[in-house]
Structure 1
Amino acid sequence: MNVKEANEIIAHVSELIDYQVSKRGLLESQLFPVTAYICVAFYNSYDILYDILKRVSEKTTPEKIGKESRKILSEIQALSIFYIPLYYMAGRMGEIYRNDEDPKSESEEKRKQTMYILDFWKRLASSYFPNSKLSVNDSDKKNIALDQSDIDWTLSRIVDVSKDQAIKVKRTMANLELVSYIDECEARAKLCDHGPYKVDENEILVFREILHLYDGGKPHFTWSATEAKSPYTNVAFVFRLQDVEIELDEFVSLESTPVDFTENITGVALLTREGKDVIPLDFKVLDEFSDYAIKANKELFLKFSKWDRRQRLIAGAYAYCYGYARYTNFVGLTDGINWDLTERTMNKYVPEFMEGDFDQGIPRFFRSRGKKKREGPSLYLFPED
């Protein structure tokens, strides 16, 4: 990859991030310093990501990861693919901003690492998304993560449901989303929506997948272990919907018309993955999932409420960066990686964000369109001289 190609990718990634920031803005929470820990995670990613992807590449290729991740309940999906440029390039932006906004301040070695990461991401994303697209936005705001054989298999597992059954399914799903969200320090990393998959003129399939629930085995994070146990470590809720329009974003969260599609649910399937096998679940498991979610949510909230800001800041940044474990899991390297925040992050950025939530480089994302056109994209391009 040369500088011209890299700059084209940087400009495109910058547009994707700008769009997401314009939709979401800065994040606030009463429990976690979300904006602050995200910024810490960005800088930490700038330190660690190259070494992680280099080690992964010694075992496999981005193309293989992308193609083999097109499946139900995959750890690597549109959001975890977007993690690569989002975290790293935002961290790079912050570092350059702190160096008088001079892209030449990036060392030659770091520049080569950045090009390597951009190349890895491009090859991965174009192998995962249909028609060699690079993102959900590039795919007309659709997240088509499955091949037709998996769609057909799922359709054969859909069960017709009444309105009361649909409400119970959605309530259980919401409870699991909540415990997944708080376990990730109030982030969406365990959740993935994908679709829509056309069934006929009026019906579509939409998936909402939830991963890394605590079932009594190895906890995803040290704090994930609760007295409450999930009956399964993952679950996919699959909805057959009638007369519903769906759009998704890079964070793989869906927006539907109508907003509440409960009345439009005509069928549901519950699925879980065990190794290479995807297994349909009986609706009786809904009560077990709900019981786990309600109890685990209370346990985690009480646990986190006893932590101070520093503990929450470090945990949130750690959880964000541990998202890259999805790639090391693919090649069996996760246990050989030190996932602790780097010494530089701990000494420089943790103290800084103990004092405030706002990063000095963040305003670049909020410049007007005209200003971005005059000054360049939010993410700094490579100097071409």
Structure 2
Amino acid sequence: MTGARPTYVELLETNRLIQACADETLWLCLTRTVQGSKLFPVSPYMMLSYLNAFYRYPELLRKVEARMTAEEIGDRARNMGAKLQASSIAWGLPNFYLLGREWLISMGMIRPQDALDDVKTVMDFWKRFMLSWHRNDGHLDNSSFAHRAQILPDRRLEVFEADLHACAPGDPLHDASHAFLATVSQYGFLVSCESRISLTNHGPYRLRDNSEMIVRDFMDLSETSLPWLDDVAKDVPFNNLTVPMAVKDCHFYLVDDWGSFESKPEFTAEKLCGVGLYASDALSDGFIPVGMGSKQELTDTFNRYNEIFKEATNRLWLKMAGWTRDEFIDAGALVYFNICKEIAHVAGVFEVDDWLMIDPRADRFRPILNDEFAAGVLGELVGSVSLPSQQASPYTMAMHSNAPKKLYTPLPYSVLAGDDYAPTVGPIQKGRSSFKKNERYRTTQGVLTLDEYNKRARAFTPTVCEDRYRFLCETWVKYNHESPLADELYRAEQRGSRTIDGKGAR
């Protein structure tokens, strides 16, 4: 053991965060649908990804924070539609790590007090990022806000609403937008190894008495950080696309920490009454309008992109048709593990060896991860919660299940009385992968090499995140909306708007 022992307050707070993650994870696993796959060995790759997260996340987060704090990344995340939200950071970052930890504890390979500093690092980073990202609604995560996520500030929502193109069932834009949404959703499902992590939603946002807006983000679409998209996605013009959607006669009563939603009545095609399209990433100054100049231009853009994504999907199917089982497992494990990699892109410290490799300490478990065993372990870990380490006092009544179980093991307070502990799992070890990443990274500033991407990211600050504007929050705007500085802030957000460019705050 090295370094200072944790304080009582630090352990109390860390355990509170661990329990919050446990409660939401159990609810999600009990109430959300689960999809199987005939192509990917999903359970094996999920279990491998959890172990990879346990052994790698702490050091990667420290590397990111040496360049940029979690809360600054959270501020930037509100200004782009990248993998910096639900489910990537909101759920994936802490829970992939904690699931790997819990399995290792249950197998007797680590003790609850081992990697104590690592656990603190992960949970503290997550907390600070989430409080920053949720700054406008004042919550830690969607679950603490009755499962909703009102992430965006008034000035951005004003632009989204003003620039929406109206549509109705039967008109060309309505048909084109729905065709695009269906195609890119299926493409993203395949890109993310038959999981849902390339798509997310946030909101709802009130528009009128019978109208709401939900904002949908499609992420990791082009040649950027997933090596199996090299060449396959060479024609995809943006890595992230955001689609604000106005919906009438429909209330989104639930938007969870996986980024999925439920509504009453059900959100069906005929309820869509307005739509837009934007691109963004770590190098964009906010959301860039795509095909938004006119209703016809947006219709044509959706139709053109629909064909591009169909062709990319076909190419990806052909590539995957030649994969071995290990390649399927590696791809799935990596796409899960690097679900939070965008933090490294924003900080300008992304490295292939960090985010696109399987750590040998995780890979040693590969021989036992056949389909049957992995499915059984995963089912016990997040379904029945029946692993030995998850059993609690018979007086315990867990949230949602009332069972005497705990999904995650807390850190023991006995370390404060002198019990020994291992502070960390140590530095990242040289990993391996079935894939080799090329030097093409599609950004809003063009196709760059990784070195150039990192350099530009380190030198870049979005306008609204500059020191002059960063802390001009919704409360400040409420009481200073007539000030010249408020006008500057709003005009910065309105730049490029079709309808309110230069309008300001008044």
Return the TM-score normalized by structure 1.
0.91
Which residue number in structure 2 is paired with residue 360 of structure 1?
377
Question: Distance between the aligned counterparts of 2:233 and 2:113, measured in 1?
Answer: 48
Q: 1:90 to 1:48 in 2, by over 3 A?
A: same
The alignment partner of 2:364 has SS state of: helix
1:239 aligns with 2:241: no
Aligned mates of 1:187, 1:341 — CA distance in 2: 19
- Report if the CA contact (8 A) 1:169-1:286 is conserved: yes
Say if 1:23 and 1:301 are closer, same or farther in 2 by CA, change over 3 A.
farther
Structure 1 match to 2:122:
117
Matches within 5 A, 1:75-224: 75-81=83-89, 82-99=91-108, 105-106=111-112, 108=114, 110-129=115-134, 130-164=136-170, 165-214=173-222, 218-224=223-229
Partner of 2:274: 267
Q: Say if 2:261 is the partner of 1:254.
A: yes
Deviation at 1:60, TM superposition (A): 1.6
Highest relative contact order (Cα 8 Å, sep 6+), 1 or 2? Answer: 1
The 1:373/1:3 distance shift into structure 2, 3 A limit, reads farther
Alignment partner of 1:310 is 2:326: yes
Is the Cα–Cα contact under 8 Å of residues 53 and 337 in structure 2 kept in the other structure? yes
The 3-state SS of whatever aligns with 1:241 is strand
For 1:69-98, what per-residue CA distance to the aligned partner results, in whole angstroms no more than 9, with x for missing partners?
112424311322222111000111111111
Distance 1:64 1:91 in 2: 27
| Ranges in structure 1 where 5+ consecutive residues have no aligned partner | none
The alignment's TM-score, normalised by the length of structure 2, stands at 0.70
Q: Which has more radius of gyration? A: 2
Q: Give the whole-Å Cα distance in 2 for the aligned partners of 1:14 and 1:227.
A: 37
Of 278, 281, 306, the match for 2:287: 278
On the 8 A contact 1:39/1:91 being kept in 2, the answer is yes
Q: Which whole-Å CA distance do the structure 1 matches of 2:20 and 2:267 have between them? A: 33
Shift of 1:273: 2.6
Q: Kindly tell me: are residues 131 and 236 of structure 1, through their superposed partners in 2, closer, same or farther at Cα, counting changes over 3 Å?
A: closer
Letter in 1 for 2:409: Y
Cα deviation, residue 376, structure 1: 4.1
Could you list the per-position Cα deviations for residues 35-88 of structure 1 after superposition, in whole angstroms to 9, with x for gaps in the alignment?
A: 221111001100000000011111121211112211242431132222211100
Question: Aligned AA for 1:363?
Answer: E
Could you say what the CA RMSD is over the residues aligned between the two structures, in angstroms?
2.2
- Residue 139 of structure 1 aligns with an amino acid whose one-letter code is F
3-state secondary structure, aligned to 2:315: helix
Which residue number in structure 2 is paired with residue 288 of structure 1? 304
Q: Counterpart of 1:240 in 2: which secondary structure?
A: strand
| Bigger Cα displacement from structure 2, 370-379 vs 302-311 | 370-379
Identity of aligned residues (%): 20
Is the Cα contact below 8 Å between 2:250 and 2:266 reproduced in 1?
A: no
1:134-165 Cα offsets, whole Å, 9 max, x none, are 21111121121211100001111111113123
Which letter does structure 2 place at the counterpart of 1:45?
A
Partners of 1:23 and 1:307 in 2: CA distance: 33
| Whole-angstrom CA distance in 2 between matches of 1:383 and 1:235 | 44
Q: Give the corresponding residue for 2:54.
A: 46
Q: Which structure has the highest helix share of the two?
A: 1
Hey, what does 1:29 align to over in structure 2?
37
What is the identity, as a one-letter code, of the residue corresponding to 1:244? C
Cα deviation code 1:89-111 (max 9, x no counterpart) = 011111111118xxx71454x01
The amino acid of 1:287's aligned partner reads: N
Cα pair 1:236 1:271 within 8 Å, conserved: yes
Paired letter, 1:257 = K
CA distance 1:370–1:310, shift in 2 (3 Å): same
Q: CA deviation at 1:331?
A: 0.7
Distance 2:377 2:80 in 1: 40
Aligned to 1:301: 317
Q: Point out the more displaced range, 302-311 or 24-33.
A: 24-33
How many residues were matched structurally? 377
* Residue equivalent to 1:334: 350
Given residue 151 of structure 2, which amino acid in structure 1 is its aligned partner?
Answer: A
